[in-house]
Amino acid sequence: MRIELSKRPQHSTLFSVLSPFIALALTLVAGAIMFSLLGKNPGEALYFYFIDPLREVWSLHELAVKAAPLILIAVGLSICYLSNNWNIGAEGQFIAGAVLGSFIPVVFPGFQNWTVLPLMLIMGMAGGAAYAAVPAYLKVRFNTNEILTSLMLVYVAQLFNDWLVRGIWRNPEGMSFPGTAPFHEYAVLPAIWPDAGRAHWGIVFALVAAVVAWFMLSKTLRGFEVKVLGQSPRAGRFAGFSSSRMVFFAFIVSGALAGLAGICEVSGAVGHLNEKLSIGYGFTAIIVAFLGRLNPLGIVAAGIILALTYLGGEAAQISIGVSDKVVRAFQGMLLFFVLACDTLIHYRIRLVSALPRSKTAEA
């Protein structure tokens, strides 16, 4: 038996819509198998992963808290990946945004008025954008592979943040725990409905970013430029588009969004800067971007699904004792199935037995 691909004359609209759903279904099947191997009732486990977190209002708020950074980062990444710029260092840009955004409340704790929060958000975006500009500059100026440089800078950012919160930024009253002092009230991103749950304005920023990016990509010349340069840099050059400028544009936009996600997480969800800043949002967002088929509106849905896996992981750990380590394995499997199913969009897949083909070719 062999698998043979034949290119479709045009990409299949049906499978463009269906493929993420097929991938999700396959992931659920694989997940059920995995849970049975771990000795758990798969039905029960999947219930705790995907249904239980949706039953209570407070937990829907938690979902929004986790979905916000995933959507913000993935929207930016979609612009990068569509334009063929492989930024995989969003985790580092997230940290850079969180650190620079925390600058005012940590260094000038006495400066307290309503301008603090907007300034923090702007500085967070600036931090992420500046950090993303480094691999962009190296790619344009020295032709350096942006995949490797952006990833290396993740480790550097993690170590830098670690140094800050254990060193000069550490809360002197923090019982020697690493982390800055809690932010004052003007530096906290407020909850949307404080009575109902923790969801902060980050989710609103995420939805706005998704709609703006969707509009930009599907309705404007700049969006066309992104896609042309991504698919055929040569064609893009004939159209007068600059691929160097596109590198900067894609990296800076995605860096700014990742930075915004970082400062929103710190000032909205946590309330101070610490060493365990991110639970891998920058990497999980890569999965979100592909599950959303690099479409900002699809990314909103995908972000909610991946956020659900985080919450479900916590729920399943408490209720049926499945390790929270399962979550990342689950997320990794999902990306595999998403990529495999995308083949259906461009190719017809046929199973053929190995022998007859050569015979018919000779006949």
Q: How far is the CB of 264 from other proteins (least distance, A)?
A: 23
Tokens of 46: 């999947």
| Four-point Cα dihedral 23, 27, 28, 30, nearest 10 | 140
Query: Do residues 277 and 265 make contact, with C-beta atoms less than 8 angstroms apart?
Result: yes
Span interacting with other proteins, options 101-109, 115-123, 212-220, 325-333, rule CB under 8 A: 325-333
Query: Do residues 141 and 133 make contact, with C-beta atoms less than 8 angstroms apart?
Result: no
Q: Does 286 bind other proteins (CB under 8 A)?
A: yes
Q: Which of 297, 334, 314 is nearest to 63 (CA)?
A: 314
Q: Does 314 bind other proteins (CB under 8 A)?
A: no
Give the C-alpha distances (Å, rounded to integers) separating 348 from 5, 12, 25, 358, 361.
6, 9, 20, 20, 20
Q: Does 55 bind other proteins (CB under 8 A)?
A: no
Q: How far is the CB of 195 from other proteins (least distance, A)?
A: 36
Q: Which is nearer to other proteins, 2 or 219 (CB)?
A: 2
Q: What share of the chain is helix, strand, coil (3-state, %, to 5)?
A: 70, 5, 25
Q: Which is nearer to other proteins, 177 or 193 (CB)?
A: 177
Span interacting with other proteins, options 11-19, 140-148, 174-182, 295-303, rule CB under 8 A: 140-148
Mask: binding to other proteins, 146-185, rule CB under 8 A, as x and -? -xxx-xxx-xx--xx-xx---x------------------
Q: How many residues bind other proteins (CB under 8 A)?
A: 48
Query: Do residues 82 and 218 make contact, with C-beta atoms less than 8 angstroms apart?
Result: no
Interatomic CA distance for residues 119 and 274, integer angstroms: 20
One residue of 1, 7, 110, 240 binding other proteins per CB under 8 A: 7
Span interacting with other proteins, options 14-22, 141-149, 187-195, 217-225, rule CB under 8 A: 141-149
Q: How far is CA 116 from the centre of its chain?
A: 27
Q: How far is the CB of 228 from other proteins (least distance, A)?
A: 18
Question: Quick one: which H or E segment has residue 128?
Answer: helix 116-142
Span interacting with other proteins, options 23-31, 113-121, 204-212, 331-339, rule CB under 8 A: 331-339
Q: Which of 349, 210, 202, 199 is nearest to 292 (CA)?
A: 210
Q: How far is the CB of 135 from other proteins (least distance, A)?
A: 9
Tokens of 221: 């010349």
Q: How far is the CB of 92 from other proteins (least distance, A)?
A: 10
List contacts with other proteins (CB under 8 A).
Answer: 3, 5, 7, 81, 86, 88, 138, 142-145, 147-149, 151-153, 155-156, 159-160, 162-163, 167, 283, 286-287, 290, 323, 325-333, 335-336, 339-340, 342-343, 347, 349, 357, 361
